[in-house]
Amino acid sequence: MFPNDIGGATVIVNNIAANGQQFNSTFKIKGQVYHKVGSLLPMPNESHKFLQIYFMRGENSERALANRVDARCDYHNLNSAFASRIVSELDALLNEQNELLKLFKSQMTKLQSDNHAIVINPDRHQLESIYVDSTHLLLTTLLESWLATDALQYPLIFWKGQDRYCVNIKQRNPVTGAETNKNVSSKDFYSYHLMIRRGRDNIILRCRELRQQFIVDMYVKIESERLRYLRYNQQKLRTEEYIHLRDAVANNADTAEIGNSVILPSSYVGSPRHMQEYIQDAMTFVREYGRPCLFITFTCNPKWKEITSLLLPGQNAMHRHDITARVFKQKLKSLINFTTKLHVFGFTRCWMYSVEWQKRGLPHAFILIWLVDKIRAENVDSLISAEIPDPSTDQLLFDIVTASMIHGPCRNLNRSSPCMVDGKCTKRFPKDFTNDTVTHVDGYPIYRRRSTENGGQTFIKTISYADIDIDNRWVNTHIQC
Ligand SMILES: [Zn+2]
């Protein structure tokens, strides 16, 4: 519809992995982002495209729309009659309701010649303007701080052409409702608009993949705002105290050659100083207390009822990263509290964790725990298990382990398992049966995996209509407490 041109290096991953497994689409942006809007009329001898379609008349307009619909239907394998109806309904809606479109159209008819430009003043407080030239091919960059940028970029989300974020929105006192002299940050603004509220429909939360693009795009706006702040407030951040600058001056280097580098403080997440701080913390723990006692991987399960119960019709967890992120964070916090405050593994000396994201976009955390009393070899089996639990003593744990902690199966039982490379399992399953846990001074322990003859459990898993008997050789290591 409107130009949807995101500058910078944009990557849309909608991939099917080499082994045929389908991944969910992920929208990623790397580098600087520019939003551009083109001319309202096409150049001589060129056909109408994007925004220009709205300024065509009669048959031409219908034909152009039909061509666009056909091209999209071929690409997405859609029913063309159905898609045409949706597009013409959307077209009618936008023509009737979208204030920006109405403004463009009314101004276009007033133009005496093609050399005029329509100028919209998108922000009454700042005398900046969006110029939409009628015939110049040059694209005009939309500044992200302008009120109308979101509505031009996402016309289906902001279908009324309504104003969005700008830098001058004032915070209000929550008690009196009076305006304060503090501005609302873009992070506060978009967090507020992405929130789920009881009894209130939120169109952004219904937009599935488009919503994901919107969130990533708006987060870039938030980051840019932070970076701009840091760039213009280097004095406040006492840059002269940063060590490499001091060193340069101490070594009699020419200060003019040091240049105007902008220093990101350690409070800026992901900056070298931020990472360095974490590395130093981790190194201190290891230096003081030796190797950690427990290394726990905590993964996000998109089937958790806290996630599925909040999904809207037609959605899966992939469409709602806001829910998965919040639920994961809450569960991670409660796991850490459970482990460190209730002393389930004994008194905790210190702990740390790091959250990463899988290819599918789901978060997982790696947690390191140092205990006051180190785990002794004879205690390992009571804390860590690589076996199927006995359902007669712990049905709940049995259900969880058999549903979520079983590897594959792969190898001969399922050659198309994602872990298979060159006919081998990259995770080295199935493991061997072992009657006792064996610990080494260095390296990983080999956990107990008993066969049925030695008291191990089995269960039946159905894969591709075949029932497979799963024993302890296929179990991922898990914590039992
Ligand atoms: Zn495998």
- 243-264 confidence digits (pLDDT tens): 555 566 566 655 555 556 677 8
Q: Could you tell me if 449 and 437 are in contact, meaning their C-beta atoms sit under 8 angstroms apart?
A: no
What size, in residues, is the chain? 481
Compare 75 and 216 and report the one with higher pLDDT. Answer: 216
* Mean pLDDT over the full length of the chain: 79
**For residue 400, what are the contacts with CB-CB under 8 A and spacing of at least 6?**
none
Domain count of the fold of the chain: 3
Strand ranges in 292-402 using DSSP code E only, listed in sequence order = 294-299, 348-357, 363-371, 384-385
**Which residues in 385-420 are b (16+ Cβ under 10 Å) and which e?**
bbbbbeeeeeeebbeebbeebbbbbbeebbeebebb
Bigger pLDDT: 115 or 196?
Answer: 196
Residue 232 falls within a domain, yes or no? no
Looking at residues 140-154, what average pLDDT do you find? 70
Kindly state whether residue 474 falls inside one of the protein's structural domains.
Answer: yes
For 127, 165, 283, 371, the CA distances from 290, given in Å and listed in that order, are: 61, 50, 10, 11
Q: Which of 22-36, 245-259, 285-299 has the highest mean pLDDT?
A: 285-299
Same domain, 306 and 405: no
**19 pLDDT exceeds 50?**
no
> Ligand 1 center to residue 415 CA distance, Å?
9
* pLDDT for the residue numbered 12: 40
In a domain, 114, yes or no: yes
Q: Are residues 404 and 330 part of one domain? A: no
Helix (H), strand (E) at residue 80: helix 80-97
Residues 146 and 19 in one domain: yes
pLDDT of residue 4: 37
How far the first Cα of the chain sits from its last, in Å, is 55
Q: Which residue, 165, 186, 205, sits at the end of a domain?
A: 165
Mean pLDDT of 11-28: 50
Tokens (6 digits) for 376:
């002794």
The rounded Å distance from CA 431 to ligand 1 centre is 10
Contact 389, 472 (CB under 8 A): no
Residues 120, 139 within the same domain:
yes
Among the ranges given (216-220, 382-386, 414-418), the one the predictor scored with the smallest mean pLDDT: 414-418
CA distances from 441 to 297, 374, 376, 379 (A): 22, 13, 12, 16
Ligand 1 center from residue 470 Cα (angstroms)? 13
Residue 419: what are its φ and ψ, rounded to 5°?
A: -80, -10
Give 417 Cα–ligand 1 centroid separation in angstroms: 7
Fill in the amino acid letter for 87: V
Question: How many angstroms separate the alpha carbon of residue 427 from the centre of ligand 1?
Answer: 6
In the numeric block, the tokens 């693009």 are attached to 213
Its domain, for residue 315, covers 264-374
135 touches 118 (CB < 8 A): no
Say which DSSP state 41 is in: S
Measured in Å, residue 473 CA sits from the centre of ligand 1 at 11
Does position 242 have pLDDT exceeding 70, yes or no? no
Indicate whether 234 pLDDT > 70: yes
Strand partners of residue 384: 479
Least Cα distance to 88 among 68, 104, 106, 107 occurs for 68
The pLDDT of 44-71, averaged and rounded, is: 68
- At 267, the pLDDT band (50, 70, 90 cuts) reads confident
Based on the domain organization, do 31 and 156 belong to the same domain? Answer: yes
Given a cut of 90, whether residue 390 has pLDDT beyond it is: yes
The residue-averaged pLDDT of 150-168 equals 81
Distance CA 45, CA 65 (A): 18
My answer on whether 9 and 158 are in the same domain is: yes
| Same domain (yes/no): 355, 326 | yes
Domain boundary among 347, 374, 401: 374
228 lies in a domain? no
**3-state SS class at 424:** strand
Share of the chain above pLDDT 90, in %: 26
Instruction: Mark whether 358 and 422 lie in a shared domain.
Output: no
- Do residue 421 and residue 272 come from a single domain? no
Average the pLDDT over 94-108 and give the result.
Answer: 82
150 lies in some domain:
yes
CA of 23 to the centre of ligand 1 (A): 18
Sign of CA dihedral 288, 291, 292, 298: positive
- pTM for this entry: 0.77
Q: Considering just the CA atoms, what is the radius of gyration of the chain in Å?
A: 29
For tokens 């969130």, the residue is 215
How far away, in angstroms, is 321 Cα from ligand 1 center? 28
Q: Which of 335, 337, 338, 370 is nearest to 352 (CA)?
A: 370
Residue ending a domain, choose from 353, 374, 395:
374
- pLDDT mean over 268-281: 88
Q: What is the pLDDT of residue 42?
A: 72
* Rounded average pLDDT over 52-69: 67
Please tell me whether residues 29 and 107 are part of one structural domain: yes
Residue 464 per-residue DSSP state:
T
Same domain? 459 vs 338: no
CA of 291 to the centre of ligand 1 (A): 29
Residues 298 and 441 grouped into a single domain? no
> Is 234 inside a domain boundary?
no
Is residue 320 a part of any domain in this protein? yes
For the beta carbon of residue 107, count every other beta carbon within 10 angstroms. 17
Neighbours of 100 (CB within 10 A): 22
In a domain, 202, yes or no: no
Q: How far away, in angstroms, is 360 Cα from ligand 1 center? A: 19
Tell how far the Cα of 421 is from the centroid of ligand 1, in angstroms. Answer: 9
Q: Please give the Cα distance from 132 to 50 (Å, whole number).
A: 13
Residue 119: the pLDDT is 62
CA of 256 to the centre of ligand 1 (A): 58
C-beta separation of 315 from 207 below 8 A:
no
CA of 373 to the centre of ligand 1 (A): 35
